[in-house]
Amino acid sequence: MNEKRMLDDQHFEQMIEEESICTTDNKVYEAPLDALYDTAMHYCPGCGHGVVHRILAEVIEEMGIIKDIIGVAPVGCSVLAYNYLNIDMSEAAHGRASAAATGIKRVLPEKYVFSYQGDGDLAAIGTGETIHTCNRGENILILFINNGIYGMTGGQMAPTTLPGMKSTTSPFGRDVETMGAPLKITDLVAQLPGTAYVTRQSVHKPGNVRKTKKAIQKALEYQKNGDGGTCFVEVVSNCPSNWKMTPVQSNKWMEENMLPFYPLGDLKKPNGKEK
């Protein structure tokens, strides 16, 4: 380690000790949200969940619907979403978030209801609930975070793991001959008459974050107007920890590998209602 680096490290440690990085004049961005608890998230550095939570909270606040929205958290990395989002929420059993959301929406139809689910939750164990919730056209938002891996349990193969992609349960890469091909469930639900708005977005670049935020907002507006069915927003995301990459590498890998397989854009818009 060279001398300059050591000095830098010392300087950095000193900064942290003095908590000088947290002073008002050092802040480059501040926007406290009522819909988000002021607490550290458990998500790994670079993970997309934090960004999606943030923009979801922003939309809720901007639409002024904190009192009127109820969310359902899945089993997976975002199982504790309710620790961050300061809105009424229910945890659900693995895969059953859209069934729980159905139950809530059916008895409180005047409220906004959403489920927040990962790929294992939504597209493996919860496939039946996902398909049938969309097929009934439940007037809810399904927010689907797809990072192609089981994050919480430590990097096992997901229904959306890419062909050849390594995971702890596909250590030699996903062999589609024996393990099946990745399930493009978003394309699948777009075919159902029950869905109103189906889109695939990402949060790996500022421009994409803005687009995803817009998509969530649109979905909630459609829900308010009862514009003909389930809104399904997929966010293609990353998993630096289980992909064994740095956050920057993971976003690059995602762009080069995930996005060609899961192309971004709207798959379905409400009939005649899209301006």
Partner 1 sequence: MSELKLMKGNEALAEAAIRVGADAYFGYPITPQSEVLEYLSREAHARTGMVVLQAESEVASINMVYGAAGTGKKVFTSSSSPGMSLMQEGISYIACAELPCLLVNVNRGGPGLGTIQPGQGDYFQSVKGGGHGDYKMIVLAPSTVQEMADFVKLGFELAYKYRNPILILTDGALGQMMEKVELFSQQDRTFEDLGWNIIGRSNGRDSNVITSLHLKADKMEEINIRLQKKYNEMRKNEVRYETVNCDDADYIIVAYGLVARICQKSAQLARDKGLKVGVIRPITLFPYPEEVINNYADKVKGMFVVEMNAGQMLEDVKLSVNGKVPVEFHGRMGGVVPQPEEILEKLEEKLLGGSK
Q: What is the contact surface with partner 1 in residues (CB under 8 A)?
A: 37, 66-70, 72-73, 79-80, 82, 85-93, 96, 99-104, 106-108, 111, 128-129, 131-132
Beta carbon of residue 90, minimum distance to partner 1 (angstroms, whole number):
4
**Nearest distance from C-beta of residue 184 to partner 1, angstroms:** 21
Q: How far is CA 103 from the centre of its chain?
A: 22
Nearer to partner 1, 92 or 196 (CB): 92
Task: Answer for the pair 265, 173: CB distance below 8 angstroms, yes or no.
Answer: no
End-to-end CA gap in the chain: 59
* Smaller CB separation from partner 1, 75 or 209: 75
> Could you tell me where the DSSP H helices lie in 64-175?
97-107, 119-120, 127-136
Rounded CA gap, 146 and 130, in Å?
Answer: 14
Give the helix/strand (H/E) hosting 176: helix 176-179
- Indicate the residue among 73 and 258 with the shorter CB distance to partner 1: 73
CB of 82 to partner 1, least distance (A): 5
Q: How far is the CB of 229 from partner 1 (least distance, A)?
A: 16
Distance CA 121, CA 267 (A): 21
CB of 93 to partner 1, least distance (A): 5
Q: Which is nearer to partner 1, 165 or 216 (CB)?
A: 216
Q: Which residues pair with 231 in a beta bridge?
A: 141, 197
Q: Give the contacts of 68 (CB within 8 A, at least 6 positions apart).
A: 110, 111, 112
Beta carbon nearer to partner 1, 97 or 239:
97
